[in-house]
Amino acid sequence: MKLKDKIAIVTGAGGGIGRAAALLFAREGASIAVVDVKDETARETASLIKEAGGRVTALVADVSSSDDVKRMIEATVATLGVPTVLFNNAGLSPSFPKPALVNITEESFDRIIAVNLRGVWLGMKHAIPHMIKAGGGSIVNTASIAALVACNSAEYAASKAGVLALTRVAAQEYGPFNIRVNAICPGATATPMARRFAAANPAGSAASDPKRLERMGVLGRFAVPDEMAKAALFLASDDASYATGATFVIDGGWTIMALEGGAHYTPEP
């Protein structure tokens, strides 16, 4: 088991990549703090882990709130023990249909940044002191291919690019404490976010064209959440013991063929 006797926190674990990772980490021997902004979905994921014989607690937190994140860490310590694995996965989806930069509202910009970027920072801010006392740990942050190429709304892209910057700085600062920090950049993945994207675009539009969506990578298909979860597991485990400060792109080749993938999609004015 790759995470035997580890204690892991997975945020955004109510569905999609987060749920897949929480289930996988549990199968690999970790005790899991399942965190989501929705109590119902957090409990659903926790129930699946418990039914499989795993040790788990379900927690509700808005990762953009420092008080919530601090309580999340403290509750994990109290119920499971000191976490040495943190998967900062919670995030908000971009606006659908994609707005032009000048049409993004300040409220939308601030909320995306608060959850996707500040949430990652807060997770590390409150977890790292415990990891230092425990002698080390591994942090995996979810960014996006939107951090690398212009393929999404500006506020979302900015938030995910910021995640990569935070990852590098955290890795540099806390490597001497045996804490590794890495980021994954998922490509098109069959998650509730992807379904919302398709539903928000009218039939016949470029964004809803099945053939166009199939070209979102050289493999000609969407990823499934398990494929992202396996990458996060690798980074969280000792298999990646010499990896830190790195960006792991898991996009089926999307970013090497950005023109085909639609990086130059023009939003409604």
- The residues annotated with a catalytic role in the active site are 156
d(CA 86, CA 124): 8
- Beta-sheet pairing, 137-142 with 85-88: parallel
Smallest CA-to-CA distance from 10 within 99, 111, 119, 85 is with: 85
Directed axis angle between helix 119-134 and helix 154-174, to 10°?
20
**Cβ contacts of 254 within 8 Å, gap of 6 or more:** 145, 187, 188, 216, 217, 261
For residues 32 and 75, the answer to whether their CB atoms sit within 8 Å is: no
**Cβ contacts of 242 within 8 Å, gap of 6 or more:** none
d(CA 168, CA 182): 8
The H-or-E segment that residue 140 falls in is strand 137-142
Residue 141, classed as helix, strand or coil, is strand
